[in-house]
Structure 1
Amino acid sequence: MTHPEYILTISCLDQRGIVHRVSGFLADHGCNIIDSAQFGDAQSKLFFMRVHFSSEDTSVTDEALRADFAVLGGLLNMDWELHDAAAKPRVMLMVSKIGHCLNDLLFRYKSGLLPVEIPAIVSNHTDFYQLAASYNIPFHHLPLAAGASEDAKLAQEARILEIVEANQIDLVVLARYMQILSPSMCAALKGRAINIHHSFLPSFKGAKPYYQAHDRGVKLIGATAHFVTSDLDEGPIIEQGVERVDHSMGPDTLTAIGRDIESVVLARAVKWFTEHRILLNGHKTVIFN
């Protein structure tokens, strides 16, 4: 008999006895812990915990488990979430005209390496509608002209949020979507939108950053995946990657290496999110690998 499995994530003020009370609760409700990780941050005074467990007592329903834990969560003033480990998060991908991250995520999804559902791809260009069709994923073209008015931008973002709501999206991934989101859009997607950018920012802004880096003779290139906030490219960092380069490599080679790093770093961040391994800690994150 297969028992249902859950992932419990917790954050609260650090105090004695949290692990004991959580593990005791699970034992009392017929649950078996499969793996567990915890971290106490001395700076923020917060405690973080992720528990993967199976529910082996058939008399304990999902509703009862959640209702009973809500009581403990209230007593310890916890921010907590209980996820069905078998459920596949619903992810919406957004892209403009550069497709390496999109292509990589779609391949991982199709091959089963990324356990998600992808009910929508959104773009302000039409470059990748055929790619979306090859995966049988609805493609939403929401154009936004260069120099568009604020009203036009907000109207386009309202349509994006309609797609998010209609498809019950858990995570929005900016897979090289080259539009700055408004503060209201960032607020609406707080904690459930991930962006990828090269790690040269803010040193090399604007077009062709790898060409700028080549002109400066950089020795390391890299990428950063982070949560989206209204502070451009400064949201809580989830994952980073770097690669050494040298004088013999031209700007096209640097660009190719950089795109590989961006794809891998973004895929890791998305996978960790879907496995409920990322907990926010102010302007930082706690990642339970």
Structure 2
Amino acid sequence: MPMSAARHILTLSCPDRPGIVAKVSAALYEGGFNVLEAQQFDDLETGSFFMRVAFDGAKDTADVAKLTAAFDTLAVAYGMTLSLRPAARRKRVMLMVSRFDHCLADLLYRWRSGELKMDVVGVIANYPRETYDNIDFGAIPFHHLPVDQQTKMEQELQVWETI
């Protein structure tokens, strides 16, 4: 039975310019990888380019090492910040919520049902826990970090310390 190809996720950002998608696609093709899905976004206000590519084709770690070397070269040439990870690796996620809880409820539901493959490590809110009495947090840590115009910078530092 043939060995299955491991799926990976590549995310990158860099200053926008022509040819980025072509170079990324060529590096994947030349490495023997197959693109499963790709999304891109050009931020016209900042001139930044963002891309996420899911692909497979890696039979072993040597394939991934060669691809990493190819992307390191691209990163230098295009000023890219990039991340390459196995698709099976779950993301650790800190959820941040304001007063209205409908999005939080949806995210927690989809996480609990297995639709969102992530590990929820906590919730940060700028309103007290009682505001979300209808939400079942279970054992998820809840962090109340209030904010107003005068304390915005201080609260942002607290968020980073909590994360």
Aligned ranges 1:24-63 → 2 under 5 Å = 24-37=26-39, 49-58=51-60, 60=62, 62-63=64-65
**Separation of aligned partners in 2, 1:49 and 1:148:** 34
What's the CA shift for 1:107?
0.9
Q: 1:66 aligns to what?
A: 68
Tell me the amino acid that sits aligned with residue 132 of structure 1: F
Whether the 8 Å CA contact 2:4–2:59 is kept in 1: the answer is no
Residue 132 of structure 1 pairs with residue 146 of structure 2: no
Letter in 2 for 1:15: P
Which residue of 2 is the match for residue 159 of structure 1?
158
Matched with 1:8 is: 10
Question: Of 13, 21, 24, which aligns to 2:23?
Answer: 21
The Cα of 1:54 is off from its aligned counterpart by: 1.0
In structure 1, stretches of 5+ residues that fail to align are 165-289
Taking the aligned partners of 1:39 and 1:122, their CA distance within structure 2 comes to: 28
Q: Which has the higher contact order (CA 8 A, sep 6+)?
A: 2
| Counterpart residue identity of residue 129, structure 2 | T
Q: SS of the counterpart of 1:8? A: strand
Partner SS, residue 74 of structure 2:
helix
Gap runs ≥5 in structure 2: none
CA distance in structure 2 between the partners assigned to 1:68 and 1:84 by the alignment: 17
Match of 1:121 among 109, 115, 123: 123
AA of the residue aligned to 2:137: A
The whole-number CA distance in structure 2 between the counterparts of 1:148 and 1:80 is: 34
1:1-289 superposed matches below 5 A: 1-10=3-12, 11-16=14-19, 18-37=20-39, 49-58=51-60, 60=62, 62-95=64-97, 97-123=99-125, 124-127=127-130, 128=132, 131-133=136-138, 136-142=139-145, 144=146, 150=151, 154=154, 156-164=155-163
1:171-227 residue CA offsets vs partner (Å, 9 max, x unmatched): xxxxxxxxxxxxxxxxxxxxxxxxxxxxxxxxxxxxxxxxxxxxxxxxxxxxxxxxx
Offset of 1:103 from its aligned partner? 1.8
Distance 1:31 1:2 in 2: 13
Letter in structure 2 aligned against 1:52: A
Larger radius of gyration: 1
Question: Is contact 1:31–1:57 with CA below 8 Å preserved after alignment?
Answer: no
Displacement of 1:6 in angstroms is 1.8
Change (3 A) 1:32 1:94: closer
Q: What letter matches 1:159 in structure 2?
A: Q
Distance 1:150 1:25, change over 3 A: closer
**Closer/same/farther in 2, CA of residues 55 and 98 from structure 1, 3 Å limit:** same
Deviation at 1:58, TM superposition (A): 1.8
Q: Residue 70 of structure 1 aligns to a residue in which SS?
A: helix
Relative to the length of structure 1, the TM-score reads 0.43
* Cα distance in 2 between the residues matched to 1:150 and 1:46: 30
Give the Å deviation of 1:52. Answer: 1.9
Helix, strand or coil for the counterpart of 1:131?
Answer: coil
CA distance in 1, matches of 2:4, 2:137: 35
Q: CA RMSD in A?
A: 3.8
Q: Please report the TM-score for the alignment, with normalisation by the length of structure 2.
A: 0.68
- What CA distance in whole angstroms lies between the structure 2 residues aligned with 1:99 and 1:37? 28
- Give the CA deviation at 1:39: 6.8
TM-aligned CA deviation for residue 80 of structure 1: 3.6
Match of 1:224 in 2: none
Distance in 2 (CA, whole Å) between partners of 1:64 and 1:92 is 33
